[in-house]
Structure 1
Amino acid sequence: MKTFNSFRAQEEKEQNNQITIPFTVKEAEETYELVTAVNGQAVTTSLRVAEYFGKAHKDVLKAIRALECSNDFQGRNFSPSFYTRDLPNGGTKKDPMYYMTRDGFTFLAMGFTGKVAAQFKENYINAFNQMEDILRSGQENRYALSVLKSELVKVNKNLRKAITAGRLKYGNAYGPAGDIPSSFSLYEQDSFIKNVKNIMAHVNNALLTAYFLNTELQKKDETIQELEQTIKRIRLETSKVLGY
């Protein structure tokens, strides 16, 4: 089976066609959830197709393997791979999956019928269009920033909720400390790589601070335990002296 490097690129649209790039958080999320880019080509996976269409992944795999298409078409538009699945016992297992191009998805989705399936197919095709326009226009950086921004919105929202709940339970001391931030910032004038490096630097500093605070907390716990043992001994000796 051939790999992605052998996938033939889709025919380019005329250069004077208008290109629509999904730069809003909502549009970026919708495209990213369905279609991604591998080796400069828009692709999706059997896992995403199964989840989006509400099908069992094993059934999607079976449908791909049963497609009545030529070996050449299969090789150009479907690439076997695997994903790692967590097991209940804490281990992991590699299970099969497929990457597929727009043509591969279109051929597979012909077998998905019904009004809901039709809408899902339309959404998927739109996502392919958007990703391919992004790749052709060379604006992957702006798209990547929009996806990163959408993820940071979620992270910052969760951090704010955690801080609010923590302060209600533990007091105002709960929350940011040292290099542990209350939120992460994105600088749209900078590149995606620069933003990722900046965020990872904050994460690194936050972890180092958390390690230090955890060590100090353990030391205090040990001190408290020693004090409790000392108080217990004093009480025991006092009771002996006083004849309790």
Structure 2
Amino acid sequence: DGTLLTSQRYEWTAPGIASQVGNPDLQGFPWRAAGFSRWERILRAGETVHGHVREFPAGEREVLAPQAIKSILVVPIFVEDVWWGFIGFDECTAERRWTKAEIEVLRAAAGTLGGGIQHQRAEEALRESEQRFRTLFENTLIGLYRTTPEGRIVDANPALVKMLGFSSLEELAQRNLEEEGFEPQCPRAEFREQIEREGSVTLRETTWRKRDGSVILVRENAKLTRDADGRVAYYDGTVEDVTECRRAEEALRESEHRYRAIVE
């Protein structure tokens, strides 16, 4: 409903100072309803809240005074230019005037925290993206692969492993594509020359040899990936087994030919 709430997450206290991290009043704290709209306005603007609590508005004193806070310094934390929260110093033993150096130190700490939160979010987003890709990779019915120019199989999804009659990726990865897996009339050298010349191959139909020696007709799409130095690193591709489709097409053509022979 747009209500601005805040909860105290962490706390460091000096000996003899009562902890507030377990204070239920500071969890889900409603800024505007509790009279802290001034803080919201100042912190959103990137400025600091500091001073003696006795000089603060009455609504703020009602919250801060029971915590025995005499002077306070609060600095906003921003994540990707969006106000995320704040970090602060509470002086509970005597009133204190915060120096410019102390304010700048706390600002630096807030910047470090904001950068750390942003980095953590980026890592979490990357992990989620990788998980989504891996789920798609593992469950799609089309064969997917990553190979090297030298013929090493870096990765292949279960659909491709099954298509070629292997029991596992580890077993398939023992195959050197420069030495086996392709029929003489469709050598891998032709594929390699085309993809390195054009950067990709599209709807390329070739014959591959399965683990048991049988041959299948596949339709392949692939792209070339280079490393930071511009050298060819990988070939990433998709593969469809079109053997049965071609057989069906040939059977249909033969049937049509026989029909024409009869009627003519």
Q: What TM-score do you get using the length of structure 2 for normalisation?
A: 0.25
Which structure is higher in helix share?
1
Q: What TM-score do you get using the length of structure 1 for normalisation?
A: 0.26
Which structure is higher in strand share?
2
